[in-house]
Amino acid sequence: MLIIPAIDIIDGKCVRLTQGDYDQKKVYNEHPIEVAKTFEGAGITHLHLVDLDGARASHIVNYKVLEKIATKTSLSIDFGGGLKSDQDVHIAFESGANQITGGTVAVKNSEIFTRWIKQYSGEKIILGADVKDRKIAIQGWEETSELDLFDFVSDYQKKGIQSIICTDIAKDGMLEGAATNLYKELIDRFPDLKIIGSGGVSNIADLERLAEIGCYGAIVGKAIYEGKIRLEDVRIF
């Protein structure tokens, strides 16, 4: 299973939110490049980089942070947050993203998101499926739609999506365990998709459970920053 540390950016700084709440923000490092280099030095190969300012502004904001990490490290970067237009996606890839994740745009502008899948391929475009009570959440998790998670995923699988990052908002930042049962349902129902679990991972045992059920990858954030998981321990995956 692929271990993918997360760097969330607000005002150019590395932060973490609790349950997606911008009012529950903790700054961990004012220089995200230092964090990224630490990950790389520990043998990490992939990074999940989220532009939280962009998610709120509905357009890419922190692309300079992306550019710096992409040029100063060899990490394979999945970038998301605020990508709503062709220009946003162009800037993200030009700034060094290897893949981009779309969530809100996949809900509010299916036509443009489907075009990105066709233009860049289902390998380069990841579907962001952030859920609250099994309904898709959008706009940096500040709004919940009426879209059912499984219907949402099924629709985009037909359109060519190959990878999904699924975050259970209730778990995110709580360090109380991942939504293992939810991910198992997704894996059982969509065996051909790469399911990446995100949110709630608190220790190595959580990662072991995600690996056992067949997750392609696991995104880890606060557990690393709070010292619950040591980077040297994730090499076993």
Q: What CATH code is carried by the domain that includes residue 110?
A: 3.20.20.70
Q: Is the pLDDT of residue 140 over 60?
A: no
Q: Is the pLDDT of residue 42 over 80?
A: yes
pLDDT digits (tens, 9 = 90+) for 6-32: 999 999 999 988 766 787 789 999 999
Question: Dihedral, CA atoms, 106, 159, 66, 4, nearest 10 degrees?
Answer: 100
Rounded Cα distance, 98 and 218, in Å? 17
User: What's the total number of domains in the chain?
Assistant: 1
Q: Is the pLDDT of residue 172 over 70?
A: no
Q: What average pLDDT does this structure show over 198-208?
A: 93
> What is the model's pLDDT at position 175?
72
pTM, two decimals, is 0.93
> What is the model's pLDDT at position 165?
97
Provide the residue range defining the domain that includes 116.
Answer: 2-236
pLDDT digits (tens, 9 = 90+) for 97-120: 999 999 989 999 999 999 999 999
82-117 burial, b at 16+ Cβ within 10 Å, e below that, comes to: bbbeeebbebbbebbbbbbbbbbbbbeeeebbbebb
> What is the model's pLDDT at position 173?
63
List the catalytic residues: 8, 130
